[in-house]
Amino acid sequence: MLNRAKLLAKKKKSLKVVPLTPEQKRREAAQKLALRQQNRQQLAMHSRWKPGYFGSSVMLLPLQTEELMAEMVSPRVESTLHKVVHRLKQQLGKPYVWGGQTPSQGFDCSGLIYYVYNQLLSRKLPRTANGMFQDRGLKHVPKEALRRGDLIFFQIKSRDKADHVGVYLGEGQFIEAPRTGLNIRISQFEDDYWQDHYLGAKRVITEESVL
């Protein structure tokens, strides 16, 4: 019995977690996307649905994605989120310019957000990435509760502050003005590079903040 226990312990110790390959990551992301779409179709079929219940007595199974739950917002907030994403995507392909904050100039990472959001908010955002991250008026959001329009912050070169910011678009994507020599683009938040440099997230678009 002792020898068998030692062999089992040795075998368990030798097992290693093998990281996912890029192809496996893409396949997993595709499966998550299909699941989200299926959940949205479920909601569309049940016009009287509210969290947990359909009608007055039949309880629905909980949705299988936190992101879909986070997307349940008022029409007013939804309208503002739509405007934010639309205006951000209008800037795709424009050059990164340090200090830029208008379409004619180009944008740096925080300048893009400053330009798009401050047209729609009752309380204006600071100008820099770290200023936005340190703003106590903005609510911290855990990674698993991210929704469209949330700001996501990174430490690229700095060790003690946020020096890059993008806007989460949903489905594991975010829009950013990356750096000199590159254009505004959509990037994959789940890529190892971004996960390694991720600092945190803040929610900007709320019922209280929109005009």
Give catalytic residue positions.
Answer: 109, 164, 176
**Closest among 118, 207, 191 to 152, alpha carbons compared:** 191
The phi, psi pair for 60, rounded to 5°, reads -90, 155
Per-residue b or e along 166-201, where b marks 16 or more CB atoms closer than 10 Å to that residue's CB: bbbbbebbbbbbbeeeeebeebebeeeebeeeebeb
Can you tell me the distance from the alpha carbon of 135 to that of 126, in angstroms, rounded to the nearest whole number? Answer: 8
Q: How far apart are CA 170 and CA 148, in angstroms?
A: 5
Assess contact for 168 and 146: CB atoms under 8 A: yes
